[in-house]
Chain A
Amino acid sequence: MKQKWTSWLFNPFMYLAGWQAMIAGFIMMLVVAGLASLSSIRFDGTLDMHVADPLNLVTHIQLIFVDYISLSVLLLIAGMLMSKSHYRIIDIMGTQLLARWPLLFMTLLALIVNLDPIREAGKHFDPQHIDALFTISFMIFLCVSVIITVWMIVLMYRSYSISFNLIGNKAIGSFIVCLLLAEILSKFINLKLV
């Protein structure tokens, strides 16, 4: 029972893939974009999150989908080149979208910890908006966001590994290269969007 619970948390694609994962991931990303539009954070890179002036819902959706498409397309190309198995494009596209669901916790956390002082301090290059209590809560926010990011990367890798039946150094190496390239690509496109 415990094993199944951890599988759902760290390898949900064992049970869910294809269109089901795509629909679940799509709904999840709309919720993430909606919550992000209420806070001061934006996801302007495959692995990036920044505190800045609030954006409208449509721009948040665009940012999240640029991040998703950048990585998914690169992983699709890498998988097509390396996999010897029979794969389905819908599996990598669907599971990659669902792999981003930990962002939901990031946006919820950003709503709980009011990040406006950081935004103001960044704008005016003046730390006077930041007090000791805020510093502590912001440090906790940073630590939790690192954990959430690592969790998301694990899910992204599992999605790639299971969709193309790739394991070992070859899978890890190609995944890291794609992740770095996707970060550069998404950053470049998103800079033009906002």
Chain B
Amino acid sequence: MPVVNEKKLPLFCPSCQSKLKVKKLVCAQCDTEVEGLYSMPPLASLNNDEQTFVMEFIKSSGSLKDMATFMGLSYPTVRNHLDEIISKLTKLEQQKK
């Protein structure tokens, strides 16, 4: 089975490492383009692993116990991971303000 590389949303400028913003949105159906300068929502600024964690956390109704079972890790390890994401999101929110 061929391995398909999933496209990853770039978060930082490959040239100067600054945070990227959204400039253009395109409708894949009718090719309509919207142009402007938009900030990325905080959740989109998380890396892939963190976004997956948030998705699974929501799907498990916010149960750290279920998350620990799902990830094969202990409860405090998962909670510490969540603490890291909370701290990152708080910083992103503060930067936005």
Which residues of A are interface residues toward B (Cβ below 8 A)?
13-18, 21, 85-88, 91, 162-163, 165
Report the bound CA distance from A161 to B61 in whole Å.
Answer: 27
Count, A-B residue pairs, CB within 8 A: 37
Report the bound CA distance from A3 to B42 in whole Å.
Answer: 32
Evaluate contact between B83 and A85: CB separation under 8 angstroms.
Answer: yes
Report the bound CA distance from A165 to B79 in whole Å.
Answer: 9
Chain B, 71-90, CB within 8 A of any chain A CB: 72-77, 79-80, 83
Identify B74's interface contact among A13, A85, A86, A87, CB under 8 A: A13
Given that A85-B83, A165-B83 are known contacts, is A15 also in contact with B76, CB under 8 Å in the complex?
Answer: no
Which residues of B are interface residues toward A (Cβ below 8 A)?
72-77, 79-80, 83
Which residue of chain B has the shortest Cβ distance to A90 in the bound complex? B75
Evaluate contact between A17 and B80: CB separation under 8 angstroms.
Answer: no
Identify B80's interface contact among A21, A85, A88, CB under 8 A: A85
Evaluate contact between A162 and B80: CB separation under 8 angstroms.
Answer: yes
Chain A residue numbers with a CB within 8 Å of B75 are 17-18, 88, 91
B54 to chain A: closest CB distance in Å? 17
B91 to chain A: closest CB distance in Å? 15
Evaluate contact between B80 and A18: CB separation under 8 angstroms.
Answer: no
Please name 5 pairs of A and B residues whose Cβ atoms are closer than 8 Å in the assembled complex, sorted by A: A14-B74, A15-B72, A17-B77, A87-B76, A165-B83
